[in-house]
Amino acid sequence: MNEGNLSITKGEGSFDISLRDMVTPLFRRKRILIVTFLSALAAVLLVAALLGPTYSSRMSILVDRERLEPLVTPESTAQMPMPNTPITEEEINSEVELLSSRDVLEKVVIANGLDRPADGFNLSSLLHPHQTREDRIARAVKNLAKQIKVTAVTRTNMIDVKYSSSDPQRSYGVLNSLGEFYTQKHVSVHRPAGSYEFFVRETQRYHDALEQAEAKLREFSGHNQLAAPDAQEANMAQQVAMSIGSMHSAEQSLAADEERMRDDRQQMSKTPQRLSTVQTSAVADKLLDQLNETLLALDTKRTELLTRYDPSYPLVQDIDRQIAQTNSSIAAAEKARYTSESSDVDPTFEVLREDRAKTQADRAAQTATLAATRRSIKNMQAQLVDLDRQSIARQDLVREVKADEQTYLTYLAKREQERTSDALDTTRIGNVAIAVPPVIPVLPVFGWPVIVFAAIGLATIASIGSAYAADYFDSSFRTPAQLTEGLGIPLVVVFPKRIA
C-alpha cells in the first residue's frame, strides 16, 4: 500500500482505493450528509430535552458471616463463636436472586407508587385501556426488574445495585425501600420463620394464664378469708397443743379438787361445828327474890281473907296451896345453881367449810373450763383439718402461679432475645450489611455537554452512514473505472464535467 492509497485484493485481481475515493462520496452526497447530521442532532437533543435528565442512585451490600443464629428453644441461649469461613460464590448469587425476587420488587413498586399511572398523556393507558391494578403492578415489576442493575462485584463480597430515573427522589426511594425489603426477606429466609411471633404469642398466652392463676388465688383467698394458711395452721396447731395442755391441767385440777373435797368432808365429820369459849355458874338469886315477893304477897292476901272468911273457905284453902307451892319452889331454888355458857364457831371447821365451798366452786369452774376446752379442741381440730385441705388447695394454686410465672419469665426473656436478634438483623442482618446506603442524587448521570457531544457523535455517524448508503444504492457511473467494469469495453478518452 502506497501513501494515500489502500490496496484491496479481491479474488485474483486487486485494486487501489485512495483517500480521495473514500471522501468523494461524502462530498458527492453533502446535501444528504448535512440534512442527516442536522436532523439526527436535533432529534437526539429533542429526545434528551423531552426525557429530561436521568438521576442514578447506587447501593452496595456486603455479604459477610459475623453472627451465628441461635437455636430456637424456650430456654435462654448464648451466642457461640463461629470460625470465619470465606463467602462462596453461590451465597453471593443467592443474595443477588433475593434482591431481584418478585415479592421484594412488588413491595418496592407498591411502596413507591410505581404502579400508579402517570399524569397527562400515557401510552400504556392507550395500549391497555382496561388493565386492573394487579396488571399495573405486574407491568411495573417487570419494568423495575429491567431498570434495576444488580451485579456482584468480582473478587469481592460486595453486591452493587443501581437504579436510574428522571426523579432523584424516586431513585433514592426505590433503592432505599429495596434495601429495607431485602433485609426483611433475608431475615425471613435465613432466620427461623416466625420465631419472634411465636415467642410473642407464647409470652402473651402465659401472661394471660398467669393472670388467671393469680385471679383464682385471689378469689380462693377472698372466698375462704385465708391469707396465709400455713402460718394460720401452725398457729392453730400451737393453740391446739396449748389447749390440750390446758385440758390436762383442768383434769388434774378437777381430780385434785374432788380429792380435796372428800378430805374436807372427812375432816368436817370429825370436827365439831362450835366450840365453848366462856362457862359461869351461880345461884338463882333473882328467882328467890321473886319467889319471896310472891310468898309475901300470898301471905298478905291470906291474912286479908282470914279476916273475912273461915280457914276452910275455898279461897283461903287455895291461897294456902299457892303458899305451899311457893315455899317448895323457894326450897328448890335455894338448892339449884344456874350455869352460863357461851360458845363460838370452831375455826378449824369453818376453814374446812370455806375450803370445801371454795373447792366446790373451783371444781364447778374447772368442770366448765374442761368442757369448754374440749369443745374448743374439737373445733380447732376441725379447723385444722379444713385449713390443711385449704392449704393443699392453695399450694396447688401457688404452684400453678409459680409455674406460669416461671414459664412467662422464660418466654419473656426469650422474646426479648429474639427482639434483640431482630433489631440486630434490621441493621446488620446477621450475614448481610448495607455497606453503602443509597443517597438522593444531586447531579444527573449525563449533563448537557455530554449530551451535546453524544448528539454530535451520533449525528456524525448517522450522516456519514446515510451518505455512504445513498451513494452505494445509486446505480449511475461516477468514475471511468466503473464504466469500464460495468460495460466491459475499453475507455478511449474521458472528458471531465465542466460547469459553465
DSSP 154-180: TTSSEEEEEEEES-HHHHHHHHHHHHH
Q: Tell me the pLDDT band of 11, cut-offs 50, 70 and 90.
A: very low
**Burial of residue 98 (number of CB atoms within 10 Å: 0-12, 13-18, 19+):** buried
**Dist. CA 40–CA 46, nearest whole Å:** 10
**310 domain residue, yes or no:** yes
Q: Which percentage of the chain shows pLDDT scores above 70?
A: 72
**278 domain residue, yes or no:** yes
**204 domain residue, yes or no:** no
pLDDT value, residue 401: 83
Tens digits of residue pLDDT in 445-465: 666 677 778 878 888 888 888
Concatenate the DSSP letters of all residues of 104-122 into one string.
HHHHHHHHHTTTSPPSS--
**96 domain residue, yes or no:** no
pLDDT value, residue 13: 45
Q: Pick the residue with more confidence: 477 or 27?
A: 27
Distance between alpha carbon 437 and the CA centroid of its chain, in Å?
36
**Mean pLDDT score across all residues of the chain:** 75
Q: Which percentage of the chain shows pLDDT scores above 90?
A: 0
Q: Tell me the pLDDT band of 438, cut-offs 50, 70 and 90.
A: confident
Domain boundary among 329, 345, 361: 345
What angle do the packed helices 19-28 and 448-472 form, to 10 degrees? 100
**340 domain residue, yes or no:** yes
Q: Tell me the pLDDT band of 415, cut-offs 50, 70 and 90.
A: confident
Tens digits of residue pLDDT in 47-91: 777 666 778 888 888 887 655 545 445 555 555 545 556 778 888
pLDDT value, residue 38: 85
3-state DSSP assignment of residue 17: strand
**Dist. CA 258–CA 84, nearest whole Å:** 98
Among 137-141, 368-372, 378-382, 387-391, which stretch is predicted with the lowest mean pLDDT? 387-391
| pLDDT for residue 1 is more than 80 | no
| pLDDT for residue 15 is more than 50 | no
Segment holding 349, helix H or strand E: helix 347-427
pLDDT value, residue 2: 42
| pLDDT for residue 278 is more than 50 | yes
Question: Are 229 and 387 a contacting pair, CB within 8 Å?
Answer: yes
Q: Pick the residue with more confidence: 479 or 250?
A: 250
pLDDT value, residue 181: 87
pLDDT value, residue 124: 58
**Total structural domains in the chain?**
2
pLDDT value, residue 201: 82
Q: Pick the residue with more confidence: 6 or 355?
A: 355
**421 domain residue, yes or no:** no
**470 domain residue, yes or no:** yes
pLDDT value, residue 134: 84
Give the pLDDT mean for 206-232: 75
- What range defines the domain where residue 305 resides? 274-345
Domain boundary among 311, 345, 379: 345
Q: Tell me the pLDDT band of 121, cut-offs 50, 70 and 90.
A: very low
Q: Kindly list the distances between the CA atom of residue 221 and the CA atoms of 224, 379, 402, in Å, as whole numbers in the listed order.
A: 5, 21, 16
Question: Are 277 and 344 a contacting pair, CB within 8 Å?
Answer: yes
Q: What residues pair up with 57 in beta bridges, in sequence order?
A: 163
Closest CA to 112 of 50, 51, 181: 181
Among 73-82, 141-150, 195-204, which stretch is predicted with the lowest mean pLDDT? 73-82
Give the pLDDT mean for 176-193: 78
Domain boundary among 310, 345, 380: 345
**Dist. CA 217–CA 168, nearest whole Å:** 63
Q: Tell me the pLDDT band of 500, cut-offs 50, 70 and 90.
A: very low
Give the pLDDT mean for 320-340: 76
Closest CA to 160 of 174, 149, 171: 149
Question: Are 139 and 127 a contacting pair, CB within 8 Å?
Answer: no
**205 domain residue, yes or no:** no
pLDDT value, residue 451: 72
Tens digits of residue pLDDT in 185-198: 877 776 655 666 77
Question: Which residues touch 128 (CB under 8 Å, ≥6 apart)?
Answer: 135, 139
**Burial of residue 180 (number of CB atoms within 10 Å: 0-12, 13-18, 19+):** middle
Give the pLDDT mean for 324-340: 75
Question: Which residues touch 140 (CB under 8 Å, ≥6 apart)?
Answer: 109, 114, 115
